[in-house]
Amino acid sequence: MTTWTIGIIGGSGLYQIDALEDAQWIRVNSPFGEASDEILCGRIGPVRVRFLPRHGRGHRVAPSELNVRANIDALKRAGCTDILAIGAVGSLREELPPGRFVAVDQFIDRTKGRPSSFFGTGMVAHVSMAEPVCPRLSAMAADAVEAAGGTVVRGGTYLAMEGPQFSTRAESHLYRQWGADVIGMTAMPEAKLCREAEMPYALLGMVTDYDCWREDAAFVEVSQVLEQMHANGAIARQAVERFIAALPEVREPTPLDTVLDHALITAPDARDPAVLAKLDAVAGRVL
């Protein structure tokens, strides 16, 4: 049993948390390079909070250029036990209109060229992604949206596309056929890296628009997305505060805390010391 240190990854529409007490921006160095920004460290009541704006303050970093390994490594070094991510998404379903929230529980990864693992030659590991989010965190996050006055769907498949361009209409129809419910550009490899770092992960998708599969609708435009993001962001900030306020006083262990126990495959005498040194935060527990 332990206490909570909640990492909040704020995406489009969530750039700050007003309720943070004793807040200060702290630079956390990572062997994987520069994170998107400093981490805003503080607390809400007795709960320690670490907030990272995914795209940096001012939305400076494009989805394809995010150094996600540095972001997740920095949050681990900042002491995070669990991660709640927030991000704007487009809807692939008529019943998910703009303004709706989705507590995502599955992913289809269509990104390309993004480093998606902390491990590799010199230290190989394989973790399961069959159930990619933490059900405990996801349920609490959905409860928090409802408590904040929002409407949330519990469960949905997120199609992670490369971007930064929006989909073609043919792609949008294809993703619907695959069973995807929402589409975004940033949740992968974020969810994979949190799993490798043994930090339970949940994602709240904020629907800002319908993707371009609707034949009679206008194409997605940034102005439309920004307008809906502003409305969603107010609920998202309240949901984060309610999520943290509702956390149990004691954090009970979860199997996701120890996924690396059975993931490492490289023999101890074949492990590269230089690679191990970079893994001191995310995998130091088992190395």
In angstroms, rounded to a whole number, what is the distance separating the alpha carbons of residues 285 and 287? 6
Q: Are 252 and 97 in contact (CB under 8 A)?
A: no
The burial of 122, by beta-carbon neighbours within 10 Å (0-12 exposed, 13-18 middle, 19 or more buried), is given as middle
Active site residue 209: yes
Which among 105, 143, 211, 261 is annotated as catalytic? 211
How far is it, in rounded angstroms, from Cα 18 to Cα 158? 28
Contact predicate 6/81, CB 8 Å: yes
37 flagged as catalytic: no
Catalytic member of 209, 257, 272, 280: 209
What would the two tokens of residue 35 be?
A: 């994170």
Residues known to be catalytic: 209, 211
